[in-house]
């Protein structure tokens, strides 16, 4: 039976998941849907492959991951085109996404040994007769569950780091972008064909739920906060550790001494790139009063020039058709409650597109300020000073990223944002800095991908002590005498009792 297709909405036909372009409805991918038994079998195969992959050591994995990186770089146009066709993202945005992912594969491959490899750590006087050794060992099999909005960058942020750390990965791509997910798996198999080190299972949310219950050793989830709670509940049943990269409602703060052109440029790009469907996208801007009007003018001028459409434009379609209702509701609610649309507005929603919309003086308790909009919209509200801006930015349960524009106080203001990341005088740039960890606080999740923390996220510490001399003060043995204990008391008072 053939289901009725709404462009962009995935359907299952004859046991196959069919993804389509949200702009044209053209078929983009057709992948077999996994049953719970298929998911378990994929995890069993990944478990068998894990010993081989871990056994290659850091150097063997580095060499293979760097070959994958080279392949991704060489075929960047092909991958960007697939991202464009399947999710609607403008090709230029897709290219930027792949470039960032390639950089992360490179860094994870090159740095895993240094960060995770065996090393001696210092002994302390109290156990000086032992040497101390530390290494970070892989968990085994990691389940990666990904979203559709950055179908390359986001899963690679977990996958590259998990693989570099010595794990194998079973990946459940979003139902909206299964072809991109399978492309990543297939290209990895071109360079690592011996064993199923990276595999994919396709389907709707139930396949993700099956992955959580499949006995994987860790789940790396990226997606909405609501689904994250379900993932955690499923993982709790087997005490499977989870990494949660969830939603956000990031704010930009513009201080009096900011370069307003640069700030407007970053607000428009940070808020509207990928049609605003960005977890770390700028959705709210707080501008100190003296520069508010000038800033809004510059934003409106820039955002008003952006082109909207299927091909060769700045802003593509909304990938997930159901999101159009959320965006419409946020705009309507903001305007109904006294906000002003200085660009776009309720008429901006023209499925499958949303035209750039800038809303000012929007009540702080409205949906457009409090909930993730995930559309090409910005709210801009005036504040007395940077302190009020910080208080408003921090007033939500989310805490993913953020941005601050200014000179004298900007770094200090960025430190006060309740968020896992911040950019000073730019927007979103922390995502591409492979040396920095990526992740949020509060309802934006916990755990980190990228950087040294991102590598450690996919390995557990293994601590070993090794005797190197006889104990002068035997304590951890029943052979100790009363005199030994008395000497111990004396030493501890001498060392720590002052
Ligand atoms: P969803 O939470 O809807 O889906 C995320 C993934 O989880 C999909 O693969 C989905 O499968 C799967 N899933 C759905 N139900 C379950 C379940 N019960 N158990 C296990 N897995 C399940 O998010 P979206 O795909 O809509 O992505 C958008 C969200 O992701 C936004 O909130 C955005 O902010 C966030 N995000 C966060 C990032 C970060 O790094 N913090 C980066 C990118 C996005 P299916 O699609 O088949 O339903």
CB of 17 shorter than 6 A to ligand 1: no
pLDDT digits (tens, 9 = 90+) for 278-290: 999 999 999 999 9
Q: How confident is the model at residue 4 (pLDDT cuts 50, 70, 90)?
A: low
Q: Which atom of ligand 1 is nearest to the CA of 230?
A: 18
Mean pLDDT of 36-61: 98
Rounded CA separation 460/116 (Å): 9
Rounded CA separation 148/181 (Å): 10
Mean pLDDT of 183-210: 98
- Phi/psi for 462 (5° steps) reads -120, 115
pLDDT digits (tens, 9 = 90+) for 342-392: 999 999 999 999 999 999 999 999 999 999 999 999 999 999 999 999 999
CB of 247 shorter than 6 A to ligand 1: yes
The pair of structure tokens assigned to 480 is 């100790």
What is the 95 CA–ligand 1 centroid distance (Å)? 22
Q: How distant, in Å, are the alpha carbons of 33, 50, 200, 235, 240 from that of 214?
A: 16, 16, 14, 10, 10
pLDDT digits (tens, 9 = 90+) for 434-454: 999 999 999 999 999 999 999
Q: Which atom of ligand 1 is nearest to the CA of 225?
A: 32
**Is residue 1 over pLDDT 50?**
no
pLDDT at position 119 is 98
Question: Nearest Cα to 87, choosing from 33, 158, 151, 155?
Answer: 151
Above pLDDT 90, what percent of the chain? 98
Rounded CA separation 352/26 (Å): 14
Mean pLDDT of 194-219: 98
406: left (phi over 0), alpha (psi -120 to 50) or beta: left
At a CB cut-off of 8 Å and minimum separation 6, what does 150 contact?
A: 97, 274, 278, 279
Mean pLDDT of 449-474: 96
User: What is the full DSSP assignment across 15-68?
Assistant: TEEEEE-TTT--EEEEEEBPPHHHHHHHHHHHHHHHHHHHHTHHHHHHHHHHHH
The residue whose two tokens read 């198999």 is 189
The catalytic residues are: 245, 279
Residue nearest to atom 13 of ligand 1 (CA): 205
Rounded CA separation 481/201 (Å): 61
Q: Which pTM value belongs to this model?
A: 0.96
Residue nearest to atom 42 of ligand 1 (CA): 279
């Amino acid at each position: 039976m053939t289901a009725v297709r709404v462009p962009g909405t995935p359907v299952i036909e004859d046991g196959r998941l069919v993804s389509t372009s949200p702009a044209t409805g053209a078929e983009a991918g057709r992948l077999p849907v996994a049953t719970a038994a298929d998911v378990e079998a994929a995890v069993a195969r990944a478990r068998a492959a894990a010993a081989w992959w871990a056994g290659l050591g850091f150097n063997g994995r580095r060499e293979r991951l760097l070959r994958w990186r080279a392949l991704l770089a060489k075929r960047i146009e092909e991958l960007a085109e697939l991202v464009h066709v399947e999710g609607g993202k403008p090709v230029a945005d897709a290219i930027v996404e792949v470039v960032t992912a390639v950089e992360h594969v490179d860094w994870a491959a090159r740095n895993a040994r240094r960060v995770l490899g065996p090393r001696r750590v210092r002994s302390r006087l109290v156990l000086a007769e032992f040497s101390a050794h530390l290494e970070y060992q892989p968990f085994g099999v990691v389940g990666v569950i990904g979203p559709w909005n950055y179908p390359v960058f986001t899963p690679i942020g977990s996958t590259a780091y998990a693989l570099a750390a010595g794990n194998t990965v079973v990946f459940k791509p979003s139902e909206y972008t299964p072809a991109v997910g399978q492309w990543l798996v297939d290209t990895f198999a071109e360079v690592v064909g011996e064993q199923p080190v990276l595999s994919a299972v396709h389907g709707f949310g139930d396949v993700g739920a099956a992955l959580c219950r499949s006995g994987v050793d860790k789940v790396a989830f990226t997606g909405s906060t609501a689904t994250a709670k379900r993932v955690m509940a499923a993982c709790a049943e087997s005490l499977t550790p989870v990494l949660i990269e969830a939603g956000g409602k990031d704010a930009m703060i513009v201080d009096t001494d900011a370069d307003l052109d640069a700030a407007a440029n970053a607000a428009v790009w940070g808020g509207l790139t990928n049609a605003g469907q960005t977890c770390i996208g700028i959705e709210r801007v707080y501008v100190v009063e003296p520069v508010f009007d000038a800033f809004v003018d510059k934003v409106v001028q820039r955002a008003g020039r952006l082109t909207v459409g299927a091909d060769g434009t700045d802003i593509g379609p909304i990938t997930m058709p159901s999101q159009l209702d959320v965006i419409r509701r946020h705009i309507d609610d903001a305007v109904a409650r006294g906000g002003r649309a200085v660009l776009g507005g309720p008429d901006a929603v023209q499925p499958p597109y949303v035209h750039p919309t800038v809303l000012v003086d929007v009540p702080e308790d409205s949906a457009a300020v409090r909930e993730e909009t995930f559309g090409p919209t910005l709210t801009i509200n005036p504040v007395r000073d940077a302190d009020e801006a910080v208080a408003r930015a921090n007033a939500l349960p989310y805490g993913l990223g953020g941005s601050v524009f200014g000179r004298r106080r900007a770094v200090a203001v960025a430190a006060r944002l309740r968020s896992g990341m911040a950019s000073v005088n730019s927007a979103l740039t922390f995502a591409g800095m492979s040396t920095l960890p990526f992740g949020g606080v509060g309802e934006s999740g916990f755990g980190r991908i990228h950087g040294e923390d991102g590598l450690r996220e996919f390995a557990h510490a293994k601590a070993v002590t090794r005797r190197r001399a006889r104990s002068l003060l035997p304590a951890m043995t029943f052979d100790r005498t009363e005199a030994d204990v008395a000497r111990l008391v004396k030493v501890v008072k001498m060392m720590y009792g002052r």
